[in-house]
Structure 1
Amino acid sequence: MPSRRAVDPGEVRDAVAAVRPWLDDDAQRPARPELAAAVRLSLRTLEQIAPGNSVEVRVPPFAAVQCIAGPRHTRGTPPNVVETDARTWLLLATGRLTWTEAVDQGALTASGTRADISQWLPLVRVDS
């Protein structure tokens, strides 16, 4: 399988900035293509800065990536999984929500001994 091209930080920042009003005050949900771009590029950024195959991070219906060094997962349900919705993921990725807050609020599920990805967050800053 060919490797993906590196994610351009400016492209990630622009994609996330496009959905920022929704993250800031729960305004109208962005158009699906804008939301998909922000989620996918930010997940690919995580995949790039924390390479590996021991944790699967899922943000349905937009994307899932494997990251974090450790035992490789190849078939079936991975032993280390993080799953959340698009808004929660982008709040985590931008630092507007901490890992602990998301877990305490039940906004994400994290299973497995390696599933805490908080040391790689936030991924992008889009402050005013």
Structure 2
Amino acid sequence: MAKPRIQTHIGAHAVRQALAGAADRETIATATRYLLQVLTDAAPGPTVEVRVPPFGAVQCVEGPTHTRGTPPNVIEMAPATWIALATGGVSWADALADARVSASGTRADLSALLPLAWH
């Protein structure tokens, strides 16, 4: 059974609230999950796992599939960093340089996909 999708108007509203600094935990969770959904729509595939604990994790980007254990291409960050990256508030290079993103694996690079067209 497929996960329920976050409707665009609900997700975009949550993102706007998060960007304005007026978001509670539930709204930040919705914004995070919505932006992860937009990422998987833009780059479907099984190659890179993007983790934004505690709110979500997705697999995206076309390429080889892993079947057991930890995936070879993993990106992890805090929700605030993910929201900033996805909306263009911070660049991929700056987030990596500031150690706000942990990225391991040869394909663990979202720079060509960010910022997302989320609204």
Is the pair's TM-score, using the shorter chain for normalization, greater than 0.5? yes
Aligned-pair RMSD on alpha carbons? Answer: 1.8
Specify whether residues 6 and 36 from structure 1 end up closer, same or farther in structure 2 by C-alpha distance, changes over 3 A only: closer
Q: Which runs of structure 2 are paired with 1:1-128 in the superposition (5 Å)? A: 2-4=1-3, 8-22=7-21, 30-124=23-117
Q: Which runs of 5+ in 2 are unaligned?
A: none
2:76 aligned counterpart, secondary structure: strand
Is contact 1:55-1:115 (8 Å) kept?
yes
Specify whether residues 47 and 125 from structure 1 end up closer, same or farther in structure 2 by C-alpha distance, changes over 3 A only: closer
Q: What does the per-residue CA deviation read over 1:36-87, in whole Å, with 9 as the maximum and x for residues that have no partner? A: 0000010011011100000000000000000000001222111000000000
2:57 aligned counterpart, secondary structure: strand
Is contact 2:51-2:57 (8 Å) kept?
yes
Q: Percent of counterpart pairs with the same letter?
A: 45
Aligned residues: 119
Structure 1 residue ranges, 4+ long, deviating more than 2 angstroms after superposition: 2-12
Is contact 2:43-2:60 (8 Å) kept?
yes
Query: Taking structure 2 as the reference length, what is the TM-score of the superposition?
Result: 0.90
